[in-house]
Amino acid sequence: MLEELKNLTMNGTSATNGDASRTNGGVNGDASQTSGGTNGHASHTGYVRPNKAGTRKTGDPLTLPPGVDSEKFKDFIRQVQDIVEQTNVNVIDKAEHLNKDHYLDPSKVHDMYNVVDEDYFVSSALVAPRNVREVQAIMKLCNEFEIPVWPFSIGRNVGYGGAAPRVPGSIGLDMGRNMNKVLDVNVDGAYALVEPGVTFADLHEYLVKNNLREKLWIDVPDLGGGSVLGNTIERGVGYTPYGDHWMMHCGLEAVLPDGTLIRTGMGALPNPDANPDLPPDEQPANKAWQLFNYGFGPYNDGIFTQSSLGVVVKMGIWLMPNPGGYKSYLITFPRDEDLHQAVEIIRPLRVAMVLQNVPTIRSILMDAAVMGDRKKYSTSGKPLTDAEIDEIAAKLNLGRWNFYGALYGPEPIREAMWQVIKASFSAIPGAKFYFPEDMPENEVLQIRDLTLQGIPTYDELKWVDWLPNGAHLFFSPIAKVTGDDAVAQYELTRRRSEEFGFDFIGDFVVGMREIHHIVCIVFNRKDPKQRQNAFKLIQTLIDDAAKMGWGEYRTHLALMDQIAGTYSFNDNAQMKLNETIKNALDPKGILAPGKNGIWPKSYDKKAWTITP
């Protein structure tokens, strides 16, 4: 494998811009009359919008939906206001709408961490439904007008595009503004039923306020402000034993592109006590809906993840019963080359579930960035050298790699697990072992102590400030849990990062039988050159990874087409299946066209695709 890596191109080039295929077309195949940008200005990245950017009229948004003129758009806005009321509709008609750029107050209309032009991925209007029936009515109206709609829950999918739509000018469907209730928490069944606007922090607070935290825990990702539902259907992860969020969901209620409402799994079986006079979304569900995922017949839930086949309006999620005891820990490995041995030790322990949770192996710079910006450690304008990185590790009393995990259960169980874990990792010369009380000054260990017991925090956000005006992209390939694969991915991604002028910041998130390798490409969002380099870097990494047989599990809007193209087995058989399902359920292509590279037949795929 390492020999294969050496054969990959070392020139760091990618992103050929300005292909003719990106400039001709749109929904109706019209030739573009501009060279990009909302006002028809040349795109700084070379990528252009197939939908025309003609002369704006009073009341027009910054970007009209493709194939929709000013009068048709205004007619749509009038009618959608009749559905949700005027206060829940906001036309994006001023550049000031693109000013928000922070996780805690995220933009709902554009990509805050843009790598192509800021005005490329922009909604034409925001519409915030108040209930399921309004979602159904909006979908029917979008079909009538043939206007694309892009649903989002909160807008904090940062690093992947946030709330921005793949097709400029789409209607942003703000599912979380009004639909934000915890609908049920069942202690005996250990589950919750939530709407899109419920964040991890909200659900945790609900348990605390209702004196349920002593009985039930939630699983949380690094930051607590994201939507439980949104993160789960994007197949996000957390760090407790319930860290695979999609694995822990149970039962969906979704609105199909034509406005039809369905319940999946056991939810398809009516509750015999339901009042047939109530609207379907208000009828009590089958009592096993959140208990058994599959129901009868084909299992449909998966088609609503990372897809454009339905708007999920309710979701069941399993909660973790209080394990009866908890202890987090940190193990540090002093040398860069210790990564190989550490991963080899981790694999059998994780498969045997001696490592009970979703642990992480974090590079030293990821921890250092939480505890200070780059200027705190170096004034160098170049990527940090090994000697400089070693100095940072010594200063922080950490290793080049740092392993965060946790023990769950009564004290005898925790102690037995710990003895096995400590003995196993003691085989690595110089490995050190810590509990939170041993390192009160270690901010990251204190944060992880909360995260690994399902208590949401926001402090991990600090690593984005490694550079001034910090923004980030995530490159997230999947790997086998082997030392060879981990080292190969690390060496490739670090080398490429440094070629493009960036420090390597990343971690390995260890699932049941695989690793999510999360590379955090931190750049100055106000520096056009850094934005361009970040984009070129990740495009290069995607191609490099595909040559090694590695695929990403999730990505930014601007990279969906490229990554979809790497999943090309048997003449793109999977994509052809996805397109067939898309065109059957959404013949007018109105729901999230282009999401994850799936373009409906109503779009000129070649014109809309963004690839290097």
422 alpha carbon, distance to own chain's centre? 33
Query: Side-chain half-sphere of 258: how many Cα atoms within 13 Å?
Result: 8
Backbone angles phi, psi at 285, to 5 degrees: -85, 165
Edge-to-edge order in the sheet of strand 182-186: 182-186, 191-194, 311-318, 249-255, 261-263
The two most distant CA atoms of the chain are separated, in Å, by 72
Residue 320 bridge partners (DSSP): 217
Catalytic residue among 350, 448, 496, 554: 554
335 tagged catalytic: no
Using an 8 Å Cβ cutoff, are 166 and 595 in contact?
yes
**From the CB of residue 193, how many other CB atoms can be counted at a distance below 10 Å?**
21
Single-letter amino acid code for the residue at 339:
L
Cβ atoms < 10 Å from Cβ of 95: 12
Instruction: Determine the Cα–Cα distance for residues 493 and 155; give it in Å rounded to an integer.
Output: 28
Q: Which among 47, 120, 160, 326 is annotated as catalytic?
A: 160
Strands 171-174 and 149-152: parallel
Q: Which burial class, exposed, middle or buried, applies to 207 when counting CB atoms under 10 A from its CB (0-12, 13-18, 19+)?
A: buried
**Is 47 considered catalytic here?**
no
Phi-psi region of 85 (alpha: psi -120 to 50; beta: other; left: phi over 0): left
Q: What is d(CA 241, CA 278) in angstroms, rounded to the nearest whole number?
A: 39
CB 607 within 8 A of CB 22: yes
Give the contacts of 429 (CB within 8 A, at least 6 positions apart): 334
Q: Is 554 a catalytic residue?
A: yes
Give catalytic residue positions. Answer: 160, 553-554
